[in-house]
Amino acid sequence: MTDRATETRVDEVEDRLVTAVAVGEYLPGSRLPPERELAGLLGVARVTVRGALARLVDRGLLETRRGRGGGTFVRDQEAGAASDSVGRTLLARWAGIQDTADAIALLHGALAAAAAERITMDQAAGLRERLEAFRTATSGLAKQQADAVLHRSIIDAAQNDVLRSTLASLESQISIAAPAHLWGTVDGMAAMEARALRDHEELVAAVCAGRVAEAGRIARQHVGIDVELLERAMLRAGQVPTGPV
């Protein structure tokens, strides 16, 4: 019975990791967090994470590198290579994802509105620098990291630790890699990055100019990109998401 329960947990972690790779939480070439950190993020034992990682190395989704700078890395994948696992995982979680995503969007809106109301001149200058860093970052992982830094700057400008911690808790329920946002597939990445840049430009302009309602609206809409990417992953896996987000 214990062995069966352990296998079930390994199956679940394997599916979560497959989905995380398929929707761009961890991009090709990026290093996964250490086993101990992944175990904490997923709420399981290290031995469970180790078993799931070993399976994914065997399947060719991940690779292990030794020595300085080593670890477990995401390999380049063929589109749809893990669609069965993606479909099972997202379909089982979809109702909860919808409710959680709605709450995340509302919180991002509230934080952006608060930032627009409270941002200092120094913070505004820093936020414009973060926007420029996103604009000039190379496609893929560097853009994803610059995106996370920009959003953290807006959250910091809101000056509310309760909202910040609540948002972090909710995002971790959807994204293993939170606060890094989903980044889609390699094929659609350029279009998604261009869209994100337009949203970022409008959002930063609204926050820095103190346009409270506009900043909140733009932030809520921008976060919808994550849900769209999850929906696309389901469709690629042959599952049809139902119900409004």
pLDDT at 210 over 70: yes
This prediction's pTM: 0.84
Mean pLDDT of the chain, nearest integer: 90
98 pLDDT more than 50: yes
**Helical residues (DSSP H) of 60-120, grouped into ranges:** 83-118
Is a pLDDT exceeding 90 seen at residue 114? yes
At 180 the pLDDT is 78
Q: What's the mean pLDDT in 11-18?
A: 90
For residues 79-84, give the mean pLDDT. 61
Model confidence over 159-195: pLDDT tens digits?
A: 999 999 999 999 988 888 887 788 888 888 899 999 9
Three-class DSSP category at 152? helix
**Digit-coded pLDDT (tens) for 18-40:** 888 888 899 888 999 999 999 99
What pLDDT is stored for residue 3 in this prediction?
66
Segment holding 37, helix H or strand E? helix 35-42
User: How many Cβ atoms are within 10 Å of 36's Cβ, its own excluded?
Assistant: 10
Query: Is the pLDDT reported for residue 241 higher than 80?
Result: no
Q: Tell me: the pLDDT tens digits for 34-74? A: 999 999 999 999 999 999 999 999 988 899 998 888 899 99
CB 56 within 8 A of CB 62: yes
Average pLDDT of span 204-233 = 94
152 has a pLDDT exceeding 50: yes
Tokens standing for residue 18 = 């497959």
Determine the average pLDDT of the residues in 99-122: 96
Distance, CA of 157 to CA of 4 (rounded, Å): 48
* The pairing of beta strand 62-65 with beta strand 71-74: antiparallel
Say which DSSP state 67 is in: S
Assess whether pLDDT exceeds 70 at residue 150.
yes
Domains in the chain, please, with CATH? 2-74 (1.10.10.10), 93-236 (1.20.120.530)
- pLDDT band at residue 233 using 50, 70 and 90 as cut-offs: confident
| Total residue count of the chain as it appears in this document | 245
Rg (CA), the chain: 18
